[in-house]
């Protein structure tokens, strides 16, 4: 059995999910969203994400982590800040010697929905179909579950 921590990074909403996988079997463990208060400075929000992901690693002891690669937005400043949030999550995991696997959004969608340009609703439906116990409340949480599931599917070929 392998325990995967899936992370959908964001400065205001960092989705996370824990999924156990063994062969073709998948089991939903937990999921949620790390919500740094918007009133905090950038540095404080990054520290909040770092501590939140660190706490998840302590609580769930993942064997591997999968995280979404950031695509370049129209606004370069947004891309840069999102990259910093992603880095805070990666460092929290990597500091515990947990391997980190990175996937582009279209590869995650293709691994789950067989379509690289699936919309959020299609991803949500596949998450619910593959893991009926998962009941994501936000798109960030649903995406984190999808990231963990995509890794469980693709890691068999690594």
- Classify each residue of 17-31 as buried b or exposed e, where b means 16 or more C-beta atoms within 10 Å of its C-beta: bbbbbeeeebebbeb
Query: In angstroms, rounded to a whole number, what is the distance separating the alpha carbons of residues 147 and 95?
Result: 21
The residue annotated as part of the active site, out of 20, 58, 63, 68, is 68
Q: What angle do CA 32, 39, 47 make, to 5 degrees?
A: 60
Query: In angstroms, rounded to a whole number, what is the distance separating the alpha carbons of residues 69 and 54?
Result: 20
Query: Catalytic site residue 119?
Result: no
The residue annotated as part of the active site, out of 63, 97, 140, 143, is 140
The residue annotated as part of the active site, out of 8, 20, 141, 143, is 8
Query: Catalytic site residue 143?
Result: no
Q: Specify the DSSP class assigned to residue 70.
A: P
Tracing tokens 């960030």 back to the chain, one arrives at 140
Query: Catalytic site residue 140?
Result: yes
Q: Active-site residues: which are they? A: 8, 68, 140
């Amino acid at each position: 059995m392998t325990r995967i921590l899936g992370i959908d990074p964001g400065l205001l909403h960092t989705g996370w999910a824990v999924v156990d996988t063994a062969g073709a079997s998948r089991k939903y463990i937990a999921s949620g969203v790390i919500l740094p208060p918007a009133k905090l400075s950038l540095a404080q929000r990054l520290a909040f994400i770092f501590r939140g992901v660190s706490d998840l690693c302590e609580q769930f002891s993942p064997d591997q982590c999968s995280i979404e690669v950031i695509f370049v937005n129209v606004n370069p400043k947004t891309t840069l800040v999102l990259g910093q949030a992603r880095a805070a999550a990666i460092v929290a995991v990597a500091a515990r010697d947990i391997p980190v696997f990175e996937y582009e959004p279209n590869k995650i969608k293709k691994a789950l929905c067989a379509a690289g340009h699936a919309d959020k609703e299609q991803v949500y439906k596949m998450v619910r179909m593959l893991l009926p116990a998962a009941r994501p409340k936000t798109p960030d949480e649903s995406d984190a579950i999808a990231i963990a599931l995509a890794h469980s599917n693709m890691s068999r070929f690594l």
